[in-house]
Amino acid sequence: MRQGSIALRLFWFSLCWLIVALAFTAFLLTNLYSSALDNTLRETLEFHLETLVGVSLSSTDDAFPASSLADPRFSRPASGWYWEIRDMDGNITSFSPSLIGTILPKVGGMFDADNVRTDVQKDGFGTQIRMIERKITLSDRTILITVTGNLDEMFDLVDNFRGQTLTVLGAMGAMLAIMSGLVARFALRPIGRLRRAVEQVREGETAQVEGIYPREIAPLADEVNELLRSNTQIIERARSQVGNLAHGLKTPLAVLRNEATGGGAGLSGVVLSETDKMAGLVSTYLDRARLAARTAVVGRRSNVGEVMDRLVRVMGKLHRETNLRLESGTGEIWFRGEESDLEEMAGNLLDNACKWASSAVTVTLVAPVSAADRTLTILVEDDGPGLSDAEAAEALRRGVRLDEKTPGSGLGLDIVKELVDVYGGTLSLGRSDLGGLKVELALPVARSTAS
């Protein structure tokens, strides 16, 4: 069950948020700038109006010099910056030099309490202008003073500002997006580490999830470890109970069997054959229980060299007449699984080889040839009679014993085969250069680098 990537989700979420936040910021900044400019324009126009009012009040003459306002924009024709003074009849008594060749549009609206009204209109050249007009009552007459400023100039400034703002914020947004992508990946790195640690447990390189994790995922690692521990405990408990029952039955079975031996065909014969069956069942299901428990146990690995050394030493004691030789290269080889299982597989193979050998048994450990090769091989060869191809094929068939007569001297391949299957290995029989049987046991290898 997979849902999209957390990193990608974090990235898209922060990207959307960034776009909205930055767009809103651009909008807000532009509006603030525009209203600040407009205020400044108003204040400038009011200042000029006050100047003209002052000049008008102090002058007795209707006509006063056009240069009354120092701002040179009032001298430039079609600048959008104009002023004029007219009486209530509409006769213009005075105007700015910039008004030459055009006339001001009429200011609409009502005068406020201060006898001031404002408006936005277009002049004769199509330029948008902000207009402010004041009505002044002098001793003998009433005049109207109008001052205008160029709004298009202001709009150009705002447009410019908007363009720059968008460029800067866009660049900042891109940088933040990249950052948030990096942060998402960085923040999620511990999850990747945890995944690898769990993988190592499954691969049998470690028994527990190892490493130190951030507060958010440390409980997850702890829980996984707890799960592994309780799993192992349950399995061990079940296994030991089954083992106790099975082993407990073995002594009474031995007693019954011995008691019935040599007692003829009657009751003794029945007891003998039934105890044989029971003993077979006990050992079969004991093995099955071990195998069933085994598949659920993860995170085990064992040193092949050590196990084989030990087995060769023990075999040397059990089969003193056999010359037993172990050939292993340098360097450690690790089997991905339980030591007791490796011992069981290799022990049975070695024991067989020693039983059938005339004088010599050779064990060879073959390490994986490359890093990609995940298989180790144990070769067991003897100089005994060996098996024909047909016999070898028969021996590898489940539940077949080649020598039914002698107790305890079966090939013991059944349990070996089942274990090999559990670990996903292979078992093959062939002819050895020594003259007898060659058994090749291939098993999964565990990386030795893990601690």
Partner 1 sequence: MRILVVEDDTNLNRQLQEALTEAGYAVDVAFDGEEGHFLGDTEPYDAVVLDIGLPQMDGLSVLEAWRREGRAMPVLLLTARDRWSDKVQGIDAGADDYVAKPFHMEEILARLRALVRRAAGHASNEITAGPVRLDVRAGKVTVDGKSIKMTSHEFRLLSYLMHHKGKVISRTELTEHLYDQDFDRDSNTIEVFVGRLRKKLPEECIQTVRGLGYQIDDD
Q: Which is nearer to partner 1, 318 or 402 (CB)?
A: 318
Residue partners of 51: CB distance under 8 A and separation at least 6: 68, 69
Q: Which is nearer to partner 1, 35 or 261 (CB)?
A: 261
CB 262 → partner 1: shortest distance, Å? 9
Cα distance between residue 334 and residue 206, in whole Å: 12
Q: Which is nearer to partner 1, 211 or 243 (CB)?
A: 243
CA nearest 104: which of 119, 87, 84?
84
Q: How far is CA 44 from CA 69, 113, 131, 286, 312, in A?
A: 12, 21, 12, 103, 106
What is the CB neighbour count within 10 angstroms for residue 406?
9
CA nearest 92: which of 143, 147, 139?
143
What is the CB neighbour count within 10 angstroms for residue 436?
20
- Please provide the DSSP assignment of 170-215 as one string: HHHHHHHHHHHHHHHHHHHHHHHHHHHHHHHHHHTS-SS--S---T
CB 310 → partner 1: shortest distance, Å? 6
β-strands 360-366, 323-328 pairing: parallel
CB 226 → partner 1: shortest distance, Å? 28
CB 326 → partner 1: shortest distance, Å? 15
Q: Which is nearer to partner 1, 98 or 348 (CB)?
A: 348
Q: Which is nearer to partner 1, 67 or 359 (CB)?
A: 359
Strand residue runs (E) in 159-259? none
Q: Which is nearer to partner 1, 264 or 407 (CB)?
A: 407
Q: Which is nearer to partner 1, 84 or 338 (CB)?
A: 338
Q: Which is nearer to partner 1, 69 or 308 (CB)?
A: 308
Cα distance between residue 177 and residue 49, in whole Å: 51
Cα distance between residue 329 and residue 364, in whole Å: 9
CB 182 → partner 1: shortest distance, Å? 52
CB 407 → partner 1: shortest distance, Å? 5
What is the phi/psi pair of residue 2, to 5°? Answer: -125, 140
CB 249 → partner 1: shortest distance, Å? 8
H helices of 4-150, where? 6-58
Q: Which is nearer to partner 1, 174 or 318 (CB)?
A: 318
Q: How far is CA 383 from CA 5, 331, 362, 387, 437, in A?
A: 60, 28, 9, 11, 7
CB 315 → partner 1: shortest distance, Å? 9
CB 297 → partner 1: shortest distance, Å? 15
What is the phi/psi pair of residue 363, to 5°? Answer: -115, 130
End-to-end CA distance of the chain: 31
- H helix and E strand count, the chain: 8, 12
Quick one: CA torsion of 244, 249, 251, 256, rounded to 10 degrees?
A: 180
Q: What angle do CA 439, 441, 443 make, to 5 degrees?
A: 180
CB 410 → partner 1: shortest distance, Å? 12
Q: Which is nearer to partner 1, 99 or 342 (CB)?
A: 342
In the complex, the residues that contact partner 1 under the rule CB under 8 A are 243, 246-248, 250-255, 257-259, 261, 275, 279, 283, 310-311, 314, 317-318, 320-321, 339-340, 343-344, 346-348, 351, 407-408
CB 403 → partner 1: shortest distance, Å? 14
Q: Which is nearer to partner 1, 147 or 311 (CB)?
A: 311
Does an H or E element contain 128, and which? Answer: strand 128-137
